[in-house]
Structure formats: structure tokens, C-alpha cells
């Protein structure tokens, strides 16, 4: 049975799906028509009036335009706000509708693969702030692909994996990706600390809220004056942005850069830099990430990505396993905080605390964090079984929960529970 990797770029405007078979070198992007191949699948649903029938993407837009359906858009924004969406007098949960959109769009893959053939699916989104983590988690838990095969990540990480699998001369110097596909222009800069081993890579995001997506088509003759003013604005921003950076390669993403209207900006960017018009970078980068998780390559040993959502330390504890002391990992540095969390049953020795070992990536020595257990009954060594649950509320906030499970009939459980919140700089 063939094994596939899926990369799904989910956002408010245009979503994209890329895929490849595990052993193929380059991902492909799926679309139901030529327009979707060029830009993506509009993140839009429409409900047929008077009937519980839903369309998605361009078909939803066309059905709404002819008046047979009611269009529903901005699904991610509404879901993140926790609001409901009213359609024909009925209120719908926005996350449920967004899940419906994702499921319907995945049906485009029916002739290519089955859910059982998906070895790994990466959902990539622009941000995981606020309630968006919960929204995307709910979606991931309601797809035909098993939840344990789904990874959630941000655009920063997708950019890293996409560029890592391009010719190395493109990222010898720093790389900037300009994204003009949302409400305003954004820049993502990939840079690397080559003094470390492995090399640590970062992607920094800069928002330009003053440079918004225009509500007109740049190629229209009556828009030339407005286009020229916007070109000048982006040109000035570019001068300021590149003044303090050593960028060798630039990628331009999004429909905002299409139409050839920003001639002054492009001329300036091409001076001493390699400039590319990008497409499907996030979904393809997600594919490369998925393949590297399943089949790590030499690049994964030489380079590691450390984004804002990544843990900057290893966390573990020493346990007696089969009579020998072993280090047991609780959370791994470089992994997303929202993907980390374990539950272990442990047996205390002669101590009356749970010692967690924290080892930061910055080279500083390991430190031990003691979780105190006040009120734990006085029992002999190895006669107290505890249930340890470790989870994260952010990349800098750790929650440790401990429950007394007793030890058989001789030492029944007291039902006592302890909790400790640990915050990091």
C-alpha cells in the first residue's frame, strides 16, 4: 500500500492542499479547477437555500453569486473569536463549519489516496495564538485521518522546511518571504546561528499593518495611480527593512504581488538579491516537514528549527526501569509545546518529592525542579505509587499534576492531588 504525506495550509482566505508519495522528491498541489491551482481553494462554504446541502470553495462562491445559496466566509476568524454563525435563522458553531470545509476539501484527494494511506498530515496555519490552538485541535480530531498522524504547525516552520529542501545556495545568506495574501503585508525572515551544532534556524515575522491588501485590481487602468502610490509605500518599507539585514534571497507570495504593478519595488529587490514568485510554499513546506518526521535525512541532523512555539529545553526524570536507573524524557526541546504532554505512573524511592530535570538548549547546565508533595502519607521507600501528568499551557508555562494512587491493599490511595505551575524566562 502506498504511503502519502499531506500538507494542508488552512487560512481565512485561500487554503491549499499539497501531497506526495513518501518516496517522491517533490510535492504536488491539488485543485478542482485551474483557478484553484493558481491561488488555492477559497475557504468558503455556502448553504443551499432551504436545503441542508453545502458547497465549498469556488463552487460555493458561484452558487452564492447566482442566488441559490448563502455564502459563509471568514470561518477561521469567527471560530477563533468563539462566535457562532447564523445561516437562514439557524446558528452554527464556526469550528464545526470550518471542520466541514476541511473534510469537503479533502474529498478532492479521493481518486489519489485513502485516509488509511496517509502516513502523516501537517496542518499549517498563520498563527496559533489565543483560541486558535483549540480550534485547530478540534478540527484535527474530526478528520478521516487518525489524530495521532496529524501534526499542527505555524507558517514559520513550514517556511523553514520548504527552504531547507531547496538548493543550499538559496539560503547561504538570510532569506525573506513577503506574504501579500491576507489583510496586510507580512515578512518572514529565515536566519541561522551557524556557531552551534546542529545549526539552529529561526524564522522571524514582521507585520506591516499600514500596507493593507487593496480592494481593487492592479491591472485595471483606473487603478494605476493608486497602484503607483502603493508601490512607493512598499518601496520605502523595503529600503528600511533591508537596511539592517543581509538577505540574499526573496520570495514573494500572494495575489497582492500579481499583475506586475509593483515595478519600482521589484527593481529595488532584484538589486543584489535573487527574487522568486512563490506559490504553495506553506502547504509544500508542510509536506517536507511530514516526510522528515517519518524519514529523517542528513539535513535534519545538521539543522534544527527553533520557533516561538518550540520548547527551548529538554525535560525528563530519572526512573528505575528493570532494576536500572534510566533517564525518561517528558518533553523534547525543539518540539511544539502544544504537542507535548505525558502521563506516567511512578513509584517514589526514599524521596518525598518528584524531581524533574530541565536541560536548556543554550548550553547552561541542567537544573532539578522539585515538585513537593505536602501531606503525602509516611510510607516505606517504593511503597507510594504516583500518577504524574505533565502538560504545557504555553512554551514558557509548564503544569505538573501529581495524584497519590496508593500501593495495593497495604497502602490505599488517599486521593490527594498536587499541582505546580512552573514559568520560564
What are the pLDDT tens digits along the chain (425 aa)? 789 999 999 999 999 999 999 888 899 998 766 555 566 899 999 999 989 899 999 999 999 999 999 999 999 999 999 999 999 989 999 999 999 999 999 999 999 999 999 999 999 999 988 889 899 999 999 999 999 999 999 999 999 999 999 999 999 899 999 999 877 899 999 999 888 888 989 999 999 988 877 654 444 555 777 788 888 999 999 999 999 899 999 999 988 888 788 889 989 999 989 999 888 899 999 999 999 999 999 999 999 998 888 888 889 988 776 667 788 888 988 888 888 889 998 888 888 899 999 988 776 788 898 999 999 998 888 888 899 999 998 888 899 999 999 888 788 888 899 999 998 87
Rounded-to-integer distance, Cα 5 and Cα 113, Å: 10
Q: Which three cell numbers stand for residue 82?
A: 468563539
The pLDDT, as a whole number, for residue 32 is 62
The string of DSSP codes covering 163-188 is HHTS-GGGSSSEEEEEE-SSSEEEEE
Residue 217 pLDDT:
47
- Domain ranges in the chain with CATH number 3.30.420.40: 4-157, 161-279
The top-level CATH class assigned to 4-157 is alpha beta
Tell the CATH topology of 161-279: Nucleotidyltransferase; domain 5 (3.30.420)
Burial of 351 (0-12, 13-18, 19+ CB in 10 A): exposed
CATH 2.60.34 placement within the chain: 313-423
pLDDT at 115: 94
Distance in angstroms (rounded) separating the CA atoms of residues 314 and 329: 8
What are the grid coordinates assigned to 289, written together? 516537514
Nearest to residue 3, comparing CAs of 143, 149, 161? 149
**CB 10: neighbour CB atoms within 10 A?**
26
**Residue 35's pLDDT is what?**
56
Task: Sort residue 248 into left (φ over 0), alpha (ψ -120 to 50) or beta.
Answer: alpha
Q: Please state, in angstroms and rounded to a whole number, the distance separating the CA atoms of residues 100 and 321.
A: 46
Residue 322's pLDDT is: 66
For 313-423, CATH gives: 2.60.34
Cell of 280: 504553495
State the Cα–Cα distance between residues 245 and 207, nearest whole angstrom: 16
Amino acid at each position: 500500500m502506498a504511503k502519502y504525506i499531506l500538507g494542508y495550509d488552512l487560512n481565512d482566505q485561500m487554503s491549499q492542499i499539497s501531497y506526495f508519495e513518501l518516496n517522491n522528491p517533490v510535492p504536488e498541489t491539488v485543485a478542482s479547477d485551474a483557478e484553484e491551482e493558481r491561488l488555492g481553494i477559497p475557504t468558503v462554504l455556502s448553504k443551499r437555500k432551504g436545503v441542508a446541502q453545502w458547497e465549498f470553495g469556488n463552487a460555493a462562491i458561484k452558487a452564492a453569486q447566482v442566488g441559490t445559496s448563502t455564502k459563509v466566509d471568514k470561518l477561521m476568524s469567527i471560530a477563533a473569536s468563539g462566535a457562532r454563525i447564523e445561516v437562514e435563522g439557524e446558528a452554527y458553531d464556526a469550528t464545526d463549519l470550518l471542520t466541514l470545509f476541511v473534510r469537503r476539501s479533502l474529498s478532492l484527494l479521493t481518486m489519489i489516496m485513502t485516509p488509511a494511506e496517509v502516513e502523516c498530515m501537517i496542518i499549517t496555519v498563520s498563527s496559533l495564538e489565543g483560541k486558535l490552538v483549540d480550534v485547530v485541535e478540534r478540527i484535527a480530531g474530526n478528520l478521516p485521518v487518525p489524530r495521532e498522524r496529524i501534526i499542527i504547525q505555524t507558517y514559520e516552520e513550514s517556511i523553514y522546511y520548504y527552504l531547507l529542501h531547496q538548493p543550499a545556495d538559496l539560503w547561504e545568506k538570510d532569506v525573506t518571504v513577503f506574504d501579500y495574501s491576507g489583510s496586510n503585508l507580512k515578512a518572514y525572515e529565515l536566519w541561522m546561528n551557524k556557531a552551534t551544532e546542529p545549526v539552529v534556524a529561526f524564522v522571524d515575522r514582521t507585520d506591516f499593518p499600514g500596507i493593507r491588501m487593496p480592494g481593487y485590481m492592479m491591472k485595471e487602468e483606473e487603478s494605476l495611480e493608486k497602484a503607483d502610490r502603493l508601490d512607493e509605500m512598499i518601496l520605502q518599507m523595503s529600503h528600511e527593512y533591508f537596511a539592517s539585514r543581509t538577505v540574499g534571497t526573496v520570495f514573494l507570495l500572494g495575489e497582492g504581488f500579481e499583475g506586475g504593478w509593483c515595478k519600482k519595488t521589484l527593481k529595488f529587490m532584484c538589486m543584489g538579491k535573487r527574487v522568486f514568485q512563490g506559490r504553495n510554499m506553506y502547504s509544500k513546506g508542510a509536506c517536507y516537514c511530514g516526510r522528515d518526521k517519518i524519514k529523517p535525512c542528513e539535513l535534519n541532523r545538521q539543522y534544527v528549527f527553533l520557533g516561538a512555539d518550540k520548547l527551548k529545553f529538554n525535560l525528563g526524570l530519572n526512573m528505575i526501569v528493570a532494576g536500572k536507573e534510566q533517564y525518561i524524557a517528558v518533553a523534547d526541546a525543539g518540539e511544539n509545546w502544544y504537542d507535548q504532554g505525558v502521563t506516567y505512573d511512578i513509584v517514589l524511592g526514599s524521596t518525598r518529592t518528584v524531581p524533574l530535570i530541565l536541560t536548556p538548549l543554550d548550553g547552561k547546565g541542567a537544573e532539578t525542579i522539585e515538585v513537593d508533595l505536602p501531606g503525602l502519607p509516611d510510607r516505606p521507600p517504593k511503597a507510594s505509587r504516583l500518577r504524574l501528568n505533565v502538560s504545557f499551557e504555553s512554551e514558557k508555562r509548564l503544569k505538573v499534576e501529581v495524584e497519590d494512587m496508593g500501593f495495593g491493599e497495604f497502602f490505599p490511595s488517599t486521593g490527594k492531588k498536587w499541582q505546580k505551575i512552573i514559568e520560564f524566562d
